[in-house]
Amino acid sequence: MAGSSAASARRVSSRASGSVSSSDVHLHGYDISRRIRPGAPTLIVFRATVVGQFEVELEERHLAHDRAVQLFRSGRVALKTQYAILALMILYTVTGLWLLWQG
């Protein structure tokens, strides 16, 4: 991941942009998060009060649900399409826990 550093008490700005889906960019150390949208650069401005290097992380959110909403044009239908994968993930988790318990 990219890093960011600045001298103390300086105004810092950084630009972030996404390409495919909505995401969040998070600046660790300052706990600053901003939502970024595809094709729309987001400017992050803050006052650097702590000297150091801090990780900048791009966090994808709800990628499968966002894609389903784009495909089906309805939040309710998009939600229903997620039930099968939810059931599969629950089964996968329960099976894994059962295997560990057998162990």
**What does the pLDDT look like over 4-38, one tens digit per residue?**
445 456 777 777 766 656 677 888 888 888 888 77
Measured from the Cβ of residue 24, the count of other Cβ atoms closer than 10 Å reads 16
> pLDDT tens digits, residue range 52-103?
888 888 776 666 667 777 788 887 887 888 888 889 999 999 999 999 999 7
CA dihedral (60, 1, 26, 90) positive or negative: positive
Q: pLDDT band at 1, cuts 50/70/90?
A: very low
- The domains of the chain are located at 1-61, 64-103
What pLDDT shows up at residue 102?
92
Helix or strand or coil: residue 101?
Answer: helix
* pLDDT computed for residue 22 by the predictor: 64
